[in-house]
């Protein structure tokens, strides 16, 4: 049986490690804050200089427009949240496994709908209960978010909407 002193020393050691991790994080945050404050100060000075120049009668030849900031569009990854369907949203916002599932349902030529087992087979998955249930959960999530509909209990179809 471990001694009380040994247990307390182990807990103290864990606490010391946590304190050191937090100190490192605090140093990082302080450095980031200093950098952000420097940027803010430059922006304030630039704005003051511009206001002073405009007040003195210096009229710029063309309007000053901010440079466009590139927007980083991230590719959805496995496990990401399924967004609600709404007008103008494409399947590109879905994670790859949801896009594949949606494509299989859309490609269903019979239009009767597909069961989870059929979906799993068409997706090339092993027809074991775990895989089939995983497909069912994903299809139900697409139904709940408006991407698919259920034509009957367990029959997944494309929701009737103008694309």
**CATH at residue 147:** 1.10.10.10
Query: For residue 137, what are the domain limits?
Result: 91-158
Domain-terminating residue out of 58, 77, 103: 58
pTM to 2 decimal places: 0.51
Is 132 inside a domain boundary? yes
Q: Are residues 95 and 154 in the same domain?
A: yes
How many structural domains does the chain have? 2
Quick one: pLDDT at residue 9? Answer: 92
Q: Are 85 and 123 spatial neighbours (Cβ–Cβ below 8 Å)?
A: no
Sites in the chain below the pLDDT cut of 70: 1, 58-64, 69-80, 109-110, 161-163
pLDDT at 117: 93
pLDDT, residue 12, reads 95
Per-residue pLDDT, 73: 53
Let me know whether 47 and 97 are in one domain.
Answer: no
DSSP 3-state of 84 = coil
Domain assignment of residue 76, yes or no: no
| Residue 123 near residue 100, CB atoms below 8 Å | yes
């Amino acid at each position: 049986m471990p001694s009380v002193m040994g247990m307390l020393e182990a807990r103290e050691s864990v606490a010391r490690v946590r304190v050191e991790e937090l100190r490192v994080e605090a140093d990082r945050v302080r450095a980031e804050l200093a950098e952000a404050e420097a940027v803010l100060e430059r922006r304030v000075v630039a704005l003051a200089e511009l206001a002073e120049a405009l007040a003195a009668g210096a009229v710029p030849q063309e309007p000053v427009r901010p440079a466009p900031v590139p927007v980083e569009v991230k590719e959805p990854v496995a496990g990401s949240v399924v967004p609600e369907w709404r007008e103008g949203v494409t399947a590109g916002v879905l994670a790859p496994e949801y896009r594949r599932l949606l494509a299989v349902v859309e490609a269903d030529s019979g239009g009767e709908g597909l069961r989870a087992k059929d979906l799993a087979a068409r997706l090339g998955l092993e027809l074991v209960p775990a895989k089939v249930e995983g497909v069912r959960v994903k299809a139900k999530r697409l139904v709940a978010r408006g991407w698919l509909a259920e034509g009957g209990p367990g029959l997944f179809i494309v929701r009737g909407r103008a694309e």
